[in-house]
Every structure is written in structure tokens, then in C-alpha cells.
Chain A
């Protein structure tokens, strides 16, 4: 079994929460990086500016005589440390350094270092020439080096605090968004829930309920419209089924009533053997008739359900007609009918069994409904089959009704009579075979005209 798809609600919540968290994270990282960069730039700038100030405090009053006015204790800020070198020899350093050395690094650059007390820091090594007392004197030949370092602990602390703040704010923001979204999604999905409730209320058996697509939100309009179409189709099918069930019940009632009353009357008192025999023969005939009705109904139901599978082959239609004529010849003789046949040789790619049902039904009808001593004519050409009989009592207006289930016109119901389903069956069968059937009433002649697709190539 496939896992159930995630709900729209959780999809929306998960998606937006992930997005919001990502946005918070990205902006947090950005703020962190920018803050950190700006703070260390400030630190570096302060370091360079102070170095400039310190260098200005070194004078060469007379050649070789350097005066340093830097206060070894107070000249540098709380966390700053310095070393002063002349011509490669250490001149002085912050008293706080004691015997510990800063050491020179890349000249005229600010680099990351580890300070002697183990803290992280930034360090600037600046080379310079001490200032001459008299500006007109030639420049000093002494090479001075100032090493100035400062701890970055304060900056790091500030940045870490900012990071923590951002993290907490991001988490809280995400949670707040989640809570807000839960509400929004709930409200947003309300039309779906309303639709579900409306669907649940459709209980009437006729399925006549229709949803109003105009009142649905635009996203649901298509769904609602399809739903209405589906309901309409289902309702129509259901109505047809109900009608059929009622018709079938009605059609079965008459033979059942015949069976029951025949048997009850026969059993009411002692009868002769001949009478019992006659009763049994009658009930058997009714049973056979009912069985035929049920069989035909089932075949029709299968046809309508599309469960009939066609087996196409080349079929000699004239042969099918000749074979179908054989079983009715006795009745043709009994009823003194004049039979005329005009059969061309016709071969057709079709389903033989189904075609046989059609031809048999048409011939059977013609022989049954022809007047005593009347005429039955069968003609077959490349394009059509015509079965005609005289003795028709239908009006031209009634002709289309013959395709209705159980329509018998004015004919009396008799045992062994037709089920009233034959032509309905023929019509559906021919639709399946790609052909058509039509009936023509002209005076007292009734003609059934069957056509098939003319595209079928002759052999």
C-alpha cells in the first residue's frame, strides 16, 4: 500500500516554516558577518591611528640621539601593548608586558596574533624614521619599528552576544510564524471543509443535489463543476437503472401471476390427470418465457455495461441470413407466409455471434408479426439488410417506439410471445458493431433496415 499523501495543511505549514526559518537564518548570518567585519575594521582603524600618534612621539633631537616621549605605563590604552625597536634592537615596551615579547610581524600590516597572555588579538608592525627636531635637517637614518597589538576579546564578546541574540530572535520569530500560519491555513482551508460537509449532506437517493460553482472559491470552482457533472451522470445512470428495475419487476409480475393462479386453481380440488398435464405444460411454457426474458435482459445489461467483447472475423453475411431462416421455416409454413429472399454475397469483418442475434431477432419478428398468409421479404446488399413483413398495425409515428424496452405496441401478451426487448437489443448490438438499424412503416408493411460501415473492404 502506498503511504497516504501528506495533508495540504501540513504541506503548507512545513513549507512556510522551513522558508521562514531559512530567511531568519540567512539574515542572521548576514547581520553576524557584517557586524563582525565592521567591529574589526573599527579596531584596526583605531590601532593604525594610535600607531601614528605613538610614532609622532619619537624625535631624533641630534643625529643618533632619539628621544621617546611615550609613557610606558599610560601611553597605550587598557588592552593595548607595544614594543619599540631601533635599528633592530629593542628600545622599550609596555611595562605590562614585563619580559614577554610581542615580536615583529609583517611590516605595515595588521595581522591576527595570539598575545603573550594567550588572548586573541590584532597586531600592527609599523616601520618609520624618527622625526627630526629641525625639519630642514636631513632625514633620520635610524630605522624604527613600532609593534602595536590589541586584544579582540571585547569585539569577539560583542559579536557572540549578537549571534546569540539573533539565534533566539530567529527561533522565536519562526515559532511565532508557525503559530500565525496555523491559524491562517485553518481559515484558508475553510472552503474545503465546507465543501466536504456539503458533500456529506448529499443523501437523497436520486442524486439531484447540485453544488453552486459560482459560490465556491476560484480554486475550487473546477472541482465543484466536475463534481456536479459527476453527480449528474451518476443520477442519470441511477434513474435509468431504477426505471429498468421497475420495468423488469412489472414484466416479471405478469408471468409470475400466471404461474401462481394456474397452480392455485389446479390445486384447489382433485383434477383429472389430463388436467394436471395441461397445467404443467402451461407452467413450463411460462417458465421458459420468463427464462428467455431474464436471459435477454442479462445480455442487454452486459451490452449496456460494455462488457461484451467482440470477436471480429470475416463473416459471410448471406450465409448467416440463410442459417437464421432455417429455424423459422416451420412457422412460415404454418402461417402460410410468402417468403422472398434476395441475397447478394456479402463478406464483412464483424462479430458473427452478435450479427446472428440481430438477424435472428429481425426474422423472428417478421414471421411473428406478419398477418396470416402475408409476405416476408429479406434482401441483402453490400450496404444493407432489409427485412420486411406485411400485416403491420403500427402507425409511422409509433415506429421509433419499437426500440424501447418492453414496448409491444398493441399486441396481446401471450405465452411464448416476444420479450419486447428484441429490437432494443438489436439497436445496441449494431451500435457496438458500428452499424445502424432503422424501421420504416409504410401502410401495412414494416421494414427493418440494417446498415453497416461501408468502409469495410470486400474480399
Chain B
């Protein structure tokens, strides 16, 4: 899942980025409102973590611009002012949730996951496809009774395919939403990881190739 963090205070920006990366998110950061708006409009993010008090372009203005442009990306506001007015204004301008500073990182993470689930019309934190169960808060995968150990990259890929199960997922979408594939020079890295996943998940096959289009994770062939 790909997240944009817009925050001008470096300790928060960097720590939130590191924490989200540790939890399998692909993270971009921006330190002012203008850069944030530019990134937000040019990439299909699954979530934007947005500070309210930003140089150049305020968080609320950024949000307004974003919604005006028709973007439906979930937005989690970070605010140091916890007045009701401020929160109401943020939510009314199209934010999906807010957190008051200082916050517990675990809470930010939980809210981020909940917002991403909602984005993909899922409510159950456990993704189930046939006998495959993906526990997203714990980041564990089971098939039947068998626990499957996955690398961070494999897990991120599987989670993305699973959250969009039964839908066709293009290689571009995987490229855009899954952790650090963009840093790979090789263009067939996605094929390689699909191959790893198929091997680890075992039979019957759940990941199906739609030749020339992409992949579908489903129990029906």
C-alpha cells in the first residue's frame, strides 16, 4: 500500500515514514503543502497522512484542492490543535480521519490500515480467499492450518492482490502500490515475486495470470 506523508517537522515526517515502511507500506514524503499537492495529484496513493500547519500551502487548502480535483484518496489529518472547530473543519473539507499530536504510532498505523481497508471496500482485517487467510494487523499468512512465512516484499504483493481479490490487477498498479518495486531496475521483478508467491502458497493455484493484462487472486479459475 502506498502512502504519502506531508509534514514539515522532520522528526515526525521521518519517523512516520520509517514506521510505515517497517509495516509494509510504500511511503513518499513531502515537507510542504505545494510539494504534497503535486505528489498527491500525480500518484495513486492508498492513503495520505496530512499535517494541518504546512508552509507554502496549508493542509486544509491542500485537502480542498485535492477533493476539488475529484480525488477520493483517504486522508488522515494530523493536528496539534485539538479544538472541535478545527477537527470539524477538517472532516467537513473531506478528511476521513484525524489524529491529535502527540499520538501513539500504533494508533496511526491502525487508523492507516482501517482507511486502506475502507478504500478497497473491505471491513474484515483478515482477508480470506478460499482457505487462505491474511491477518493484516499481524502481517501473517496461513493456508488452511499451514503458516506461510513471507518476506516483506512478498507479503506486500500478496496483501495488495488479496485486498483486490477477484479483480484484475495490472502490472502498473502493482508497480504503483507495492513497496519499493520502483527502486528495482529489472522490469520482470514482479513476475519473479509472483513466481515465489505461487510456490509458497502451494496448490490449488490461487494467483492466476491474465496474459498481457495482469493477475487475479481468486479461488475460481
Please pick, from B11, B22, B81, the residue contacting A282 in the complex, using a CB distance under 8 A.
Answer: B11
Known: A253-B80, A256-B101. 12 other contacts (CB 8 A): A256-B102, A257-B12, A257-B103, A258-B12, A258-B15, A261-B16, A261-B108, A264-B104, A265-B15, A269-B22, A286-B11, A410-B56
Instruction: Given A264-B19, A264-B105, A410-B56, check contact A415 B12 (CB 8 Å).
Output: no
Top 4 nearest A-B pairs (CB, nearest first) are A258-B11, A257-B101, A257-B102, A265-B19
Q: For the complex, is A114 an interface residue (Cβ under 8 Å from B)?
A: no
Q: For the complex, is A163 an interface residue (Cβ under 8 Å from B)?
A: no
CB-CB contacts of B1-34 with A at 8 A, as 1s and 0s?
Answer: 0000000111110111011001000000001100
In the bound complex, residues from chain A placing their C-beta under 8 Å from that of B9 are 254-255, 257-258, 412-415
In the bound complex, residues from chain B placing their C-beta under 8 Å from that of A286 are 11
Q: For the complex, is A268 an interface residue (Cβ under 8 Å from B)?
A: yes
Instruction: Given A258-B9, A410-B55, A412-B31, check contact A250 B18 (CB 8 Å).
Output: no
**Quick check: A250 and B80 within 8 Å, CB to CB?**
yes
Q: How distant is A199 from chain B, measured CB to nearest CB, in Å?
A: 32
Instruction: Given A282-B11, A412-B31, check contact A254 B101 (CB 8 Å).
Output: yes
The majority secondary structure among interface residues of chain A is helix
A225-278 contacts to B (CB < 8 Å): 250, 253-262, 264-266, 268-269
B87-114 contacts to A (CB < 8 Å): 100-106, 108
A15 to B119 Cα, complex, angstroms:
87
CB-CB contacts of B50-75 with A at 8 A, as 1s and 0s?
Answer: 00011110000000000000000000
A177 to B108 Cα, complex, angstroms:
81
25 contacts between A and B (CB under 8 A): A250-B81, A253-B101, A254-B12, A254-B80, A254-B101, A257-B102, A258-B9, A258-B11, A258-B15, A261-B11, A261-B15, A261-B105, A262-B15, A265-B15, A265-B22, A268-B22, A268-B105, A269-B22, A282-B14, A412-B9, A412-B55, A413-B53, A414-B8, A414-B9, A415-B9
The residue of chain B having its C-beta at the shortest distance from the C-beta of A282 within the complex is B11
The residue of chain A having its C-beta at the shortest distance from the C-beta of B21 within the complex is A265
Instruction: Given A412-B31, A412-B32, A415-B10, check contact A260 B19 (CB 8 Å).
Output: no
Residue total for B at the interface (Cβ-Cβ under 8 A): 28
Among B53, B54, B55, B101, max chain A CB count under 10 A is at B101
Q: For the complex, is A411 an interface residue (Cβ under 8 Å from B)?
A: yes
Q: How distant is A325 from chain B, measured CB to nearest CB, in Å?
A: 29
Among B15, B19, B31, max chain A CB count under 10 A is at B15
A264 to B12 Cα, complex, angstroms:
11
Interfacial residues, chain B to chain A (CB-CB below 8 A): 8-12, 14-16, 18-19, 22, 31-32, 53-56, 78, 80-81, 100-106, 108
In the bound complex, residues from chain A placing their C-beta under 8 Å from that of B16 are 261, 265
**Quick check: A257 and B80 within 8 Å, CB to CB?**
yes
A260 to B11 Cα, complex, angstroms:
10
In the bound complex, residues from chain B placing their C-beta under 8 Å from that of A264 are 15, 19, 104-106
Q: How distant is A57 from chain B, measured CB to nearest CB, in Å?
A: 121
In the bound complex, residues from chain B placing their C-beta under 8 Å from that of A413 are 8-9, 53
**Quick check: A268 and B19 within 8 Å, CB to CB?**
yes
**Quick check: B12 and A261 within 8 Å, CB to CB?**
yes
Q: How distant is A458 from chain B, measured CB to nearest CB, in Å?
A: 45
Q: How distant is B141 from chain A, measured CB to nearest CB, in Å?
A: 19
Please pick, from A255, A265, A269, the residue contacting B105 in the complex, using a CB distance under 8 A.
Answer: A265
Among A259, A262, A266, A286, max chain B CB count under 10 A is at A262
In the bound complex, residues from chain A placing their C-beta under 8 Å from that of B104 are 260, 264
A390-416 contacts to B (CB < 8 Å): 410-415
In the bound complex, residues from chain A placing their C-beta under 8 Å from that of B108 are 261
In the bound complex, residues from chain A placing their C-beta under 8 Å from that of B19 are 261, 264-265, 268
Please pick, from B8, B55, B56, B102, the residue contacting A253 in the complex, using a CB distance under 8 A.
Answer: B102
A413 to B22 Cα, complex, angstroms:
25
In the bound complex, residues from chain B placing their C-beta under 8 Å from that of A261 are 11-12, 15-16, 19, 102-103, 105, 108
Q: How distant is B130 from chain A, measured CB to nearest CB, in Å?
A: 32
A411 to B56 Cα, complex, angstroms:
8
In the bound complex, residues from chain B placing their C-beta under 8 Å from that of A268 are 19, 22, 105
Among B8, B12, B54, max chain A CB count under 10 A is at B12
A254 to B7 Cα, complex, angstroms:
11
A282 to B100 Cα, complex, angstroms:
21
**Quick check: B10 and A414 within 8 Å, CB to CB?**
yes
In the bound complex, residues from chain B placing their C-beta under 8 Å from that of A411 are 55
Please pick, from A260, A266, A269, the residue contacting B102 in the complex, using a CB distance under 8 A.
Answer: A260
